[in-house]
Amino acid sequence: MRSSIPTQEKPPSRSAEKLNSGFYWAAAFLSVAALIVAVIKCLAARDVNWPETALLAVAVAGTVATLARQLPLLHALSATVVIACAGGGISALNAKTGIPFGPYIFGQGSGMRLFDVLPWMVPLFWPVAILSSRGVARLILRPWRKTKAYGFRLIGLAAVLTVLFEFAFEPFASRVKHYWYWEPTALRVTWEGAPLVDFFGWMAVTVLMLAFVTPLLINKNPRPKSSPDFFPLGIWLGGLVLFGVGCAAQKIWPAVAADATIGLLTAVFAVRGARW
């Protein structure tokens, strides 16, 4: 007879842990280097996109490396691919219909396009935004990780942080880099050109994505005592630094002030939560 006792995933071997650790620290080093180059390029006001492209690529690698320290590598890759494909598909749908984020047109700054519709960098942005926000949310909610409602709180806070990340990204993407251009909507209230429906759309889509991939992100063999991981916070804040510098170079001061405020408050709550 088959045993009714549920099986648990085998913990990674020491060699696999060493490989994951090396991948993790390499991604961290490359992320810092790519961020420095991208910031210098923004300050120099040079119209080239490869530093941001390189930063996005290593941020994705770093996101996978961070998850692989907590989960099987297959789960980490699966969650990243699912979010990238779903986010890319929704973005392509929005480019055709204006739903759910509002009407926009991709510009020349967005680079090569998949199927002549979707810039290839857009699917990569989704897992970086969502999974790094989830990592920051884990730091903030660390004091409450043993409560019954922790899972729902994590999804909700991760969605809020994702929207804040998108809020900071929008002026940089549309007004500094011209990745896309927003078209007018019936509601004239906007944030540096982006309609408010964009942020409501991001909130709804992020909640649905996290609800779908959360089973992949649950560690079946949690360690008795695990130290907090600050890499997601570094990716999250690094993005805000780049967005703020780019907006400052173009004298978009409301966006700079918003980026600084969001980044400072998030860092304070994340560090406070991680110390518990």
What's the half-sphere exposure (Cβ side, CA atoms, 13 Å) at 254? 8
Q: What is the pTM of this model?
A: 0.91
How do the pLDDT tens digits run along the chain, 276 residues long?
343 444 444 555 566 667 777 888 898 898 999 999 989 988 776 666 788 888 999 999 999 999 998 889 899 999 999 999 999 999 999 999 999 999 999 987 777 888 778 898 999 999 999 999 999 999 999 999 989 999 999 999 999 999 999 999 999 999 999 999 999 888 888 999 999 999 999 999 999 999 999 999 988 776 656 788 999 999 999 999 999 999 999 999 999 999 999 999 999 999 999 988
Q: What are phi and psi of 274, to 5 degrees?
A: -70, -25
Parallel, antiparallel or unpaired: strands 194-195 and 113-114: unpaired
Evaluate whether 195 touches 185 at the Cβ level (below 8 Å): yes
Calculate helix-pair angle for 231-249, 150-171, nearest 10 degrees: 20
What's phi and psi for 138, nearest 5 deg?
A: -65, -40
